[in-house]
Structure 1
Amino acid sequence: MLSIQNLQAAYGKVEVLHGISLEVPKGKLVTLIGSNGAGKTTTMRAISGMIKPKGGTVTLHGVDVTGMDSHRIARAGLAHSPEGRRVFATMSVTDNLLLGAFPRLTRARPKGDVQCDLERAMDLFPRLKERRHQLAGTLSGGEQQMLAMARAIMLNPEVVLLDEPSMGLAPILVDEVFRIIARLKDEGVTMLLVEQFAAAALNVADYGYVLENGSISLHGPAASLKHDAKVVVAYLGGAHAH
């Protein structure tokens, strides 16, 4: 479904990704874990076209999308919910969600039933349903995070990239976000999840990759990574070893 081969990316002269490869099979949830500065967000940006890769290939559904503009990659079926919850503050919750479906409304993607999907998004995120007429800028951080996720799903994408969905959220909201991710997985949504809470990510994922200093150091089924001594020491230590 989503295949990354030997991906290299840099900011200026500083190479951040040194040729990483990973696979996100259809209907699976794959997580990418690693410490801050390992290159997780850079990976997401290089996949979705926010930055141009220096080398390697990104293939979506058998189509080479490497280095394409992000709007063209979105049209090909890749939705990116970036870190930092970028929502359109002066627009209502509903209008933000409809913007997620924009390529469908312009026929750049199969249209399907946008209204039905809007209702589904509201059902998935009850907090958004309550606040559907509110301006997005008046939502709490947690609600804005949910809106960014829901907007990505409104593309009706082949693959969703979720970049740090729990960042900066209160624990109760982190639990809610992961509940929603688990529900999307049950519905067969293909996802690549970058997450600081490695334990929560490995609990919900099918497969995991560990990124260290711009290279994949380890990968395997999420259930076995959870018990890998190196992963436990580096990422599951102390408070998050549930």
Structure 2
Amino acid sequence: MLTISNLHAAYGKVEVLHGISLDVPKGQVVTLIGSNGAGKTTTMRAISGMIRPKEGTVSLNGKDVTGLDSHRIARAGLAHSPEGRRVFATMSVTDNLLLGAFPRFTRSRPRGDIRADLERALELFPRLKERQTQLAGTLSGGEQQMLAMARAVMLNPEVILLDEPSMGLAPILVDEVFRIIERLKARGVTMLLVEQFAAAALNVADYGYVLENGRIAVHGPAEKLKNDPAVQAAYLGGGQAH
């Protein structure tokens, strides 16, 4: 579904990713964990076209999308829910969601039943259903995070990139975000998840990769990584159990 091979990425002359490779199979949740500064967000940005890789390939559904503009990668079926949410603050919740479906309105993605998908998204995110007409900028941080995730779902994508969906949220909202990820997984949505709460991410994921200093240090089935003493010592301490 999504295959990254020997990916190198840099900001100016500073190389952040040193040849990483990972696979996100159809219908699975794959998580990328690692400490701050390891290169997790850079990986997401390189996949979705926000920065151009220096080297390597990004393949979506067998199509090479390496280095394409973000809007072309979105049309190919990749949705990115970015770190920091980035909602359209002066637009309503509903209009934010419909913007997520924009490539479907223009027929550059299969159109399907957009209204029915909007209803489904609001059922999946009940907090948003209560606030459909509210301006996105007036939502709480947790509600904005849910809006960013729901907006990604509205593309009806092949793969969703979720970058730090729990960042800055109160514990009760972190739990809700992970419940939503589990519901999306149950619906067969393919996801690549970058998450600071490594234990919670491994609980919901099928497979995991540990990124250290721009390189994949270890990878394997999520259950195996959860029980790996080195991974536990480095990433699963400090009250991150979920």
Q: 1:79 maps to what in 2?
A: 79
Q: How does 1:142-153 map to 2 (within 5 A)?
A: 142-153=142-153
Which residue in 2 is equivalent to 1:90? Answer: 90
Partner of 2:68: 68
Correspondence 1:212 to 2:206: no
Residue equivalent to 2:57: 57
Structure 2 segments unaligned to the other structure (5+ residues): none
**Separation in 2, partners of 1:231, 1:58:** 27
Give the superposition deviation at 1:241. Answer: 3.4
How many residue pairs end up in the alignment? 242
Could you tell me how far 1:98 is from its partner in structure 2?
Answer: 0.1
Partner amino acid for 1:128? L
Deviations 1:48-80 (A, max 9, x none): 000000000000000000000000000000000
Q: Report what 2:4 is aligned to.
A: 4
Aligned to 1:100: 100
Return the alpha-carbon distance in structure 2 between the equivalents of residues 128 and 160 of structure 1. Answer: 19
Q: Per the alignment, in what secondary structure is the counterpart of residue 237 of structure 1?
A: coil
* TM-score, length-scaled by structure 2: 0.99
- 1:152-205 deviations in Å (ceiling 9; x for gaps): 000000000000000000000000000000000010000000000000000000
Q: CA deviation at 1:24?
A: 0.1
What is the distance in 2 between the residues matched to 1:239 and 1:80? Answer: 28
Quick one: distance in 2 between partners of 1:204 and 1:26? Answer: 15
Residue 238 of structure 1: how far off its partner (Å): 2.7
The 3-state SS of whatever aligns with 1:238 is: coil
Identity rate, percent: 84
- In the other structure, the counterpart of 2:41 is 41
1:29 corresponds in structure 2 to 29
Match of 1:132 in 2: 132
* CA distance in structure 2 between the partners assigned to 1:175 and 1:241 by the alignment: 11
Asked if the contact 2:200–2:241 (Cα under 8 Å) also holds between the matched residues in 1, the reply is no
Question: 1:14-43 CA deviation, whole Å, 9 max, x = no partner?
Answer: 000000000000000000000000000000
Measured in 2, the distance between the counterparts of 1:102 and 1:209 equals: 32
CA distance in 2, matches of 1:241, 1:25: 26
Deviation at 1:240, TM superposition (A): 1.3
Secondary structure (helix, strand or coil) at the match of 1:239 reads coil
| Counterpart for residue 226 of structure 2 | 226
* Secondary structure, aligned partner of 2:239: helix
Give the distance between the partners of 1:46 and 1:85, measured in 2 at CA. 18
Task: Tell me by how many angstroms 1:108 deviates.
Answer: 0.6
Give distance in 1, aligned partners of 2:170 and 2:37: 23
* Alpha-carbon distance in structure 2 between the residues aligned to 1:221 and 1:71: 32
SS across alignment from 1:240: coil
Root-mean-square deviation (CA, aligned residues, Å) is: 0.5
**Match runs of 1:161-176 below 5 Å:** 161-176=161-176
SS in 2 for 1:41: helix
- SS at the partner of 2:199? helix
Match for 1:141: what amino acid? G
Q: What is the CA–CA distance in structure 2 between the aligned matches of 1:75 and 1:158, rounded to whole Å?
A: 10
Q: Which SS does the other structure have where 2:56 is aligned?
A: strand
